[in-house]
């Protein structure tokens, strides 16, 4: 059996480094919650000016600002803090390629992950944060989807399809990518009622409201609109139990025309559930965030699809970062 080498005297112990890796993450999350990067990208401030204008406590604020400087996320000159353009491009709300929403969503997840020990010992999990959760979550999903949407749509290869059903489509990042790739396509985006304003906003910005029908609803309990030849389930099945996914697959089956296909984007786990690494860790995220969600193997996904009436399930592409694709067809 291989053993970890004993750390060189004076060198950081890798296990201790791992156990304390939360420290810098927590500073970043607090900065995102306070929107410090947006504020300091717009104008430099002293700690005193920030504390006064936002009614924050000066001493802890100054400590956080100095830690951000040490982490090379802010700059400090003669007591004045500012956000460099390179960091502002990634963490300011004013940037079109900002990661801020995703980092703010990570702050929501922090509260859930803090309950992991209780989840294991007592089966209890903390309820989801309510205030601002939807906007942060949907924004985070857009940040994740934006750089990979065109690549994944190309892998789906929607050459023949003309009616897309985007189930749990959020603000429409993938819907818009499908429409861009297939000019003759029209789409129906289904998500919860509170998500619809966010979807309408993004679809309108893209000038595609005439090609997208926005339908509020719960994909587990409400019938899905029919007449579609392609259904897209992106990062959906991990939120559900196997039984809930079966109900979802049956709902999707009914919404597809004969010969239509469903494509699922998610983590697809190895049979022993230890790979990909990101999927194994994401299973913990679902453990603390949902009652029965998790990550699934291809065999489990294919079995659920078959039970719903689909045929010819196959793995279009494997993936290490929730970019695996599984497709199946409704019999013609």
148-329 topology per CATH = Rossmann fold (3.40.50)
Measured CA to CA in angstroms, residue 100 lies from 97, 105, 149, 187, 316 at distances of 9, 9, 19, 28, 32
| Predicted pLDDT of residue 1 | 44
Task: Give the 3-state DSSP-derived string for 209-224, with helices as H, strands as E and coil as C.
Answer: CCCEEEEECCCCCCCC
**In the block, residue with structure tokens 């399930």:** 313
Residues 185, 162: contact at Cβ < 8 Å? yes
Please give the share of the chain, as a percent, with pLDDT higher than 70. 94
Q: What is the pLDDT of residue 307?
A: 98
Q: Decide if pLDDT at 129 tops 80.
A: no
Token couple for 54? 């936002």
Topology alike, domains 20-131 and 148-329 = no
Angle at 286 between CA 282 and CA 291, to 5 degrees: 165
Question: How many CB atoms lie under 10 A from the CB of residue 118?
Answer: 13
Residue 132: pLDDT band by 50, 70, 90 thresholds? very low
Digit-coded pLDDT (tens) for 138-171: 888 888 888 899 999 999 999 999 999 999 999 9
Average pLDDT over residues 99-125: 89
CATH class of 20-131: mainly alpha
**Residue spans per domain, the chain:** 20-131, 148-329
Say if residues 132 and 200 touch (Cβ distance below 8 Å): no
The whole-angstrom distance between residue 57's C-alpha and the CA centroid of its chain comes to: 32
Tokens of 19: 């156990």
Which pLDDT value is given to residue 49? 97
How many degrees, rounded to 5, is the angle at CA 22 between CA 17 and CA 28?
Answer: 125
pLDDT confidence of residue 296: 96
Complete DSSP assignment for 295-315:
-EEHHHHHHHHHHTT-EEEEE
The pLDDT tens digits of the residues spanning 48-106 come to 999 999 999 999 999 999 999 999 999 999 999 999 999 999 999 999 999 999 999 99
Give the model's pLDDT for residue 11.
64
Q: What are 109-112's contacts with CB under 8 Å, separation 24+?
A: 109/285, 109/289, 110/26, 110/29, 112/285, 112/288, 112/289
Instruction: Among 12-16, 115-119, 192-196, 284-288, name the one with the lowest average pLDDT.
Output: 12-16
| Residue 126 or residue 137, greater confidence | 137
Give per-residue pLDDT as tens, 254-279. Answer: 999 999 999 999 999 999 998 999 99
**DSSP string computed for 105-126:** HHHHHHHHHTTHHHHHHH---P
Which tokens sit at 254? 């009914």
Predicted TM-score (pTM) of the model is 0.80
Beta pairing, strands 75-77 & 45-46 = unpaired
134 has a pLDDT exceeding 80? no
Judged by average pLDDT, the poorest of 26-35, 55-64, 128-137 is 128-137
Burial of 41 (0-12, 13-18, 19+ CB in 10 A): buried
Dist CA 252 CA 247 (whole Å): 9
Task: Give the residues across from 228 on adjacent strands.
Answer: 256
Range scoring the smallest mean pLDDT among 118-122, 193-197, 204-208, 247-251: 118-122
The pLDDT score that the predictor gives to residue 37 is: 97
Which residues, 6+ apart, have CB-to-CB distance to 227 below 8 Å? 163, 255, 257
Given a cut of 80, whether residue 124 has pLDDT beyond it is: no
| Separation of alpha carbons 287 and 249, rounded Å | 22
Determine how many CB atoms are found less than 10 A away from the CB of residue 233: 22
Question: How does pLDDT run across 224-251, given as a tens digit for each residue?
Answer: 999 999 999 999 999 999 999 999 999 9
Answer yes or no: is pLDDT of 131 > 50: no
Give the chain's mean pLDDT.
Answer: 92
Q: CA-to-CA distance for 68 and 318, rounded, in angstroms?
A: 37
């Amino acid at each position: 059996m291989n053993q970890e080498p004993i750390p060189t005297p004076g060198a950081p112990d890798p296990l201790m480094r791992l156990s304390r890796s939360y420290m810098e993450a927590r500073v970043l999350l607090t900065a995102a919650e306070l929107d410090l990067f947006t504020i300091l990208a717009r104008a430099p401030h002293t700690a005193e000016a920030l504390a006064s204008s936002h009614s924050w406590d000066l001493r802890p604020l100054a400590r956080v600002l100095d830690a951000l400087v040490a982490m090379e996320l802010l700059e400090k000159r003669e007591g004045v803090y500012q956000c460099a353009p390179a960091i502002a491009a990634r963490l300011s709300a004013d940037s079109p390629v900002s990661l801020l929403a995703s980092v703010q969503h990570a702050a929501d997840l922090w509260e859930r992950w803090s309950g992991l020990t209780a989840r294991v010992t007592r089966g209890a999990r903390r309820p989801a944060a309510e205030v601002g959760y939807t906007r942060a979550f949907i924004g985070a999903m857009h940040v994740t989807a934006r750089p990979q949407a065109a690549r994944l749509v190309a892998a789906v290869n929607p050459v023949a399809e003309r009616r897309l059903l985007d189930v749990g489509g959020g603000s429409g990042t993938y819907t818009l990518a499908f429409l861009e790739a297939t000019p003759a396509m029209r789409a129906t985006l289904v998500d919860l009622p509170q998500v619809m304003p966010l979807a309408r906003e993004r679809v309108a910005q893209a000038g595609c409201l005439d090609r997208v029908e926005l339908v509020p609803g719960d994909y587990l309990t409400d019938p899905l609109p029919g007449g579609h030849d392609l259904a897209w389930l992106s990062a959906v099945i991990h939120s559900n139990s196997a039984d809930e996914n079966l109900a979802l697959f049956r709902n999707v089956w009914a919404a597809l025309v004969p010969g239509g296909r469903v494509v699922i984007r998610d983590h697809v786990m190895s049979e022993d559930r230890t790979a990909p690494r990101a999927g194994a860790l994401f299973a913990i995220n679902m453990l603390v965030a949902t009652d029965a969600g998790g990550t699934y193997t291809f065999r489990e996904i294919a079995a659920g699809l078959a039970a719903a009436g689909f045929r010819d399930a196959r793995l279009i592409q494997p993936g290490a970062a929730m970019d695996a694709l599984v497709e199946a067809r409704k019999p013609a």
